[in-house]
A and B are shown apart, each in its own frame.
Chain A
Amino acid sequence: MITKTAWKNIWRNRVRSLVVIAAITIGIFGGVLAVGVMNGAIDQRINEVLDNEVAHIQLANKEFRANNDLEYSIENVDEIVAAIEENEEVEAVGEHLFVVGMANTARKSSGVNIIGINPEKEKELFGLHNELMPGTGDYFSDPDREELAYIGFDLAKNLNIIRYEINKKVIDELKKAEVPDEVISVINEYSGERFSNERSFKKEMRSALTGKQVSEYGSLILEKAQTFRPRAKFTLTFIDSHNHQTGGVFRVGGIYDIPNSMFESSQVFVREEILRRLVELPDDETHKIIVRLKDIENTKLITGNLKTEYPELEVLNWREIQPDIAMMSEMAEAFYGFFMVIILAALAFGIVNTMLMVVLERTKELGMLTAIGMNKKKVFRMIMTESVFLSLTGGLTGMIVSWIIITITSNQGIKLFSMQEGLEAMGFSAHIYPSITLEFFLIVTVLIIITGILSSVYPALKALKLDPADALRTE
C-alpha cells in the first residue's frame, strides 16, 4: 500500500517530477557518455600501443634506452629468442634493429628512427601492416626490391612524398560525395594544379572557399586531392657501427596511417638484413627483442620472469615503456569516480530539494495521515520510497538512454574530425568508439539507488518531526 501510494505521489506534480527525472536522466547520460568516450579513447590508445607500437614486453641492452646507440646491442639473440619462444604464454617473439638517422628527399629531410624488421615475423608481433593506405604500396611483398621502406603518413607529408592535385577524378569523386556545385565550381578552377605540400594546398583552399565550406568539406577535399607517386625514392642516412656516416636509397613500399602523428612522422621500417648490412652489425646481435603474449593479463608475471632470467638486460613491459599511457589509464579511473561523485551529488541535492518541497506542500496531509493512525515508521518509509522511486526512475532512464547511445556509438564511433590534428598529435584517434563495461553500469545503478536512499533521509526526518495538530492547522 505504501509503495503504491508513494508511486502515485510522485506523479502528483507531474511537471516537477518529470523535470527532476529529466535532470537525473541527462546528468547520468552525460556522465556515462563522457566516461564512455574517455574510456573508449584510452582503450583505443592502449590497443594502438600494444598492436602497432610497443607490444607487451621489450628486452634491450641496459644502456640502450638512454642513448639509442648502436653499440648497446643484445648479444646471442637467437638463443634468447628461442628460449622465450618456449614459454607457452608467449604468442610471438621478434627482433628490432634500431638506428637513429635522417630521411631525405630532394626538398625535405626529417629525423627518424629506422627500424630493421623481418616483415613476416613483424606481422605476428604487430598489426601495423594492416594500416597500409590503399594504393601506396604492398608492404614488403615485392621480392624483386629489397630496399623498401614502410613509412608513416605524416612522414610522407613532411618529405613531400604526398602531394595534392585537383584533376577530373577528384572532381568526379567530390560530385559523387554530394559536395555542392558552388564548392565544386571553385575547386574546378584549380584543375591541373599541383601542390607540393599540405600547407600550401590548405592555404589555397582557405582563400578560395568560405570558412563554412572549409569546415564542412575541407577534410574531404584534402583526402581526395592527395596523390602519391608509387615507389617514390628517398634516402636514409645514419652512422654505422664504426662511427662512419652511411646510408642508402630506399623506395616507399607502403605508407601506414595510424592515429599517432608522432609515431607516423618518426618510425621508418626497413628490412632487417639491409639495415644490418649498412650498419655492419654482427648477425647474432640486435637492439630490441619484442614479445607478444597470448593474454595481456600475464604481462606483469612474464615480465618478472624475464627480468629474473635475463638480469643483464633491461626488461620492460608496455606500462613501463609508455608510463604516460598507464598513468592516463589510472588517472582516468580516478576521474570517472570523481565525475560520478559530482553527478551523484547533484542528483542528491536535486532529490533533497524536491522532497523538502514535497514535505512542505503536504504538511497538512502528513498531519492527517498521522492523525488517522499512520505511524511515523510508515510516514518515513513513504517519503523514502517516493525519493527512491524518483531517483530510480531518472537513474534507470538515464542508464537505459546511455546504454542505447553507447551501444550505437560503440559500433559506429564518434567522429571528432575538427579535433583530429590535436588528438592525433597526442596519439589518440579522432574516431572514438565509446566503451563502458557492464560492471560500470551495475556500479552506477547501485550508486544511484544508494544516493536516492541517502538523500531522502533528511526530508523524511523532517516529515517525522511534524506535530499532527500543528500540521492539520496549516493551510
Chain B
Amino acid sequence: MSQILPAGTKAPDFTLRVTPDQTVSLSEFRGRPVILAFYPADWSPVCSDQMALYNEVLPEFQKHSAELMGISVDGVWCHSAFGKDRNLHFPLLADFEPKGAVARLYGSYRQEGVTERALFVIDKEGMIRWSYCSPVGVNPGADGILQALEALEK
C-alpha cells in the first residue's frame, strides 16, 4: 500500500475535469470541509458499493457543510455514465491526464495504474485532518469520515 499524505499536511491544490466542459479546483472550497474519496475504478463492484453508500450518507456529510468528491483515473465520459447509472449526487473527478497526477500528489497512486482506495478529510483552511488508506478490495465505509468531520468541530 502507498504512503498517503498524513493528517497535519497541507492538502495540495489541484484542478481536475468534473464534466466534459467543467473543471473544479480544491481551492474553490476553502471555507468548508472537503472529503476526497480516491477509488480505483468506476464500475468495479466494491467501489460501486462504496460510492452507493456515500450517496446515501451525503445528507450527513452536508450537515457538516462538507463537500464530497470522488476521484479516479477514469475519464469524464466514463464518470458521467457511471454517476448517471448509480444516481450519484456528488461530483466524480477525472484524474485522467496526466494520468493519476493528483493521486500521486496525495501518495495514493498504485503501480498498476489506478488510485488507492484512500480517504482524506480536509478542513476549511485546506489542511488534511484525517486520512485513511483501505486495502484496495475493502470498502472502508463512512464511519471514519463522520468521526473526522465531528472532530473538526471540537
Binding partners A and B: no
Interface of A toward B, CB cutoff 8 Å: none
